[in-house]
Amino acid sequence: MDVLKRFESRSKSFIVAACIGLIGVIGAMDFLTGSEIFFSVFYLLAVGAGTWFIGKKFGYCLAIFSTAAWISGDMAAGAHYSRPYFIPSWNSAILLAFYFIMIWLVAKLRELQARLEQRVKERTIDLTREMAERERLEKELLEVSEREQRRIGRDLHDSLCQHFTGTALACRVLEEKLAARNLPETAQMANIVNLVEDGIGMARNLARGISPVEMDTEGLVAAFHILAANITKLSKVKCIFENDSPVLIPDAATATHLYRIAQEAVTNAMRHGKANRIDISLSHRSGHIVLTIEDDGVGLSETWDSGPGLGTRIMAHRAAMIGGAFSIEPNATGGTLVTVSVPTAPKQNVSRKESAIA
């Protein structure tokens, strides 16, 4: 097939000259070997090549030329016929009929191949469009999810937290009035104030988790510190974030996707891995930003054999959207290790629209 493709890439004039030259070479060998050895079948090489690469009409011309070369070579080599006119004409007609049948078959095969190539090309275009449309829809779904999370985070911060703050202030005023009258309910009101303030803190932490603040380099590091602190505070799992050296984040989209991947990995470690300790690490290695999340849980579940879950597929897709590589595998010390490696220079396919994700 490679030989055919290289030959097909040549110009038509080269192919025509090559076919005619091949017929000349075969004719010369036919003449030199005498009339007892038949070389008529070898002319099919030139006839078939001309038909395949040029067309049926050129194949017919080569067939006539090959037949003439064969008969002329035999006669020049000393072939004698008992009926000088009938036998050469009959042999030429039989050979031409054989050549014409082969030309028709080669032309049909060429036509079928051209149709097949066209169908493959059309199907490839359709598949490319479908993949592009699917990727676009996946990006839009993620963007819609991010927008909704940002909206919920803002609502929590601007509405619920403000409402709790107002409630705490009102309770504080009431506490002071009760204290001024030396009433025994003062201690109970102080406890209520503390509970409301704890609720404010939890609501703010939840808002930050849903919609992390400024996703630049320092913002991402701060968000990871808050994420680890909240996990440790609100659950029995010890979560630690390590960031030994400064890490340059290409853009806000990369930072956001890295944060969401870490969130999903931590949630999986607690929910499915039953982990007691989770370590989050962000580092710079050989021109790549490397995020790792490892835990000491039970590792990949048995259901993993049937395929990764939705959360894992979303993490992998997020990594692909920022031109990164994603892997999830058993940790050497037990549990699960999630790794995301992103080139420092952002890929061109990361759209500006994605950079607006917060």
pTM, two decimals, is 0.52
Compute how many other C-beta atoms are within 10 angstroms of the C-beta atom of residue 177.
12
User: Which token pair is 159?
Assistant: 């509405």
pLDDT tens per residue, range 71-111: 887 777 666 666 667 777 888 888 899 999 999 999 999 99
Total domains in the fold of the chain: 2
123 and 218 in a single domain? The answer is no
Residue 330: domain span: 212-358
Is pLDDT above 80 for 254?
A: yes
Last residue of one domain, picked from the residues 130, 165, 195 = 130
| 275 three-state secondary structure | coil
228 and 352 in a single domain? The answer is yes
Is pLDDT above 60 for 346?
A: no
Q: Residues near 245 by Cβ (< 8 Å), separated by ≥ 6?
A: 283, 284
Q: Residues near 179 by Cβ (< 8 Å), separated by ≥ 6?
A: 186
148 within some domain:
no
176 within some domain:
no
71 within some domain:
yes
358 and 267 in a single domain? The answer is yes
111 and 227 in a single domain? The answer is no
Q: Rounded mean pLDDT of the chain?
A: 80
CA distances from 169 to 17, 182, 196 (A): 98, 20, 10
pLDDT of residue 344: 81
123 within some domain:
yes
Concatenating the DSSP letter of every residue in 206-263 gives HHHHHS-S--SHHHHHHHHHHHHHHHHHHSS-EEEEE--S----S-HHHHHHHHHHHH
pLDDT of residue 278: 93
Gyration radius (Cα) of the chain, Å: 40
**Nearest Cα to 238, choosing from 260, 214, 269?**
269
Last residue of one domain, picked from the residues 130, 165, 198 = 130
Distance CA 292, CA 150 (A): 25
Number of H helices, E strands in the chain: 11, 5
Last residue of one domain, picked from the residues 82, 107, 130 = 130
21 and 112 in a single domain? The answer is yes
218 and 348 in a single domain? The answer is yes
- Look-up of token digits 């969401």: 260
pLDDT of residue 355: 37
pLDDT of residue 348: 42
349 and 218 in a single domain? The answer is yes
* ∠ Cα 237 238 244 (to 5°): 145
Residues listed for the chain: 358
pLDDT tens per residue, range 113-140: 989 999 999 999 999 999 888 878 877 7
218 and 355 in a single domain? The answer is yes
User: Which token pair is 26?
Assistant: 């075969």
97 and 221 in a single domain? The answer is no
Could you list the beta-strand ranges (E) of the chain.
Answer: 238-242, 277-285, 288-295, 325-330, 336-343
User: Which token pair is 93?
Assistant: 């007609």
CATH of the domain at 285: 3.30.565.10
153 within some domain:
no
Within the chain, what is the greatest distance between any pair of CA atoms?
Answer: 145
Distance CA 165, CA 182 (A): 25
15 and 110 in a single domain? The answer is yes
Summarize the confidence of residues 213-226 as an average pLDDT: 70
Per-residue confidence band for 277, with pLDDT thresholds at 50, 70 and 90: very high
Distance CA 247, CA 289 (A): 7
100 and 225 in a single domain? The answer is no
323 within some domain:
yes
164 within some domain:
no
221 within some domain:
yes
Per-residue confidence band for 239, with pLDDT thresholds at 50, 70 and 90: very high
Percent over 70 (pLDDT), the chain? 83
Per-residue confidence band for 350, with pLDDT thresholds at 50, 70 and 90: very low
89 and 219 in a single domain? The answer is no
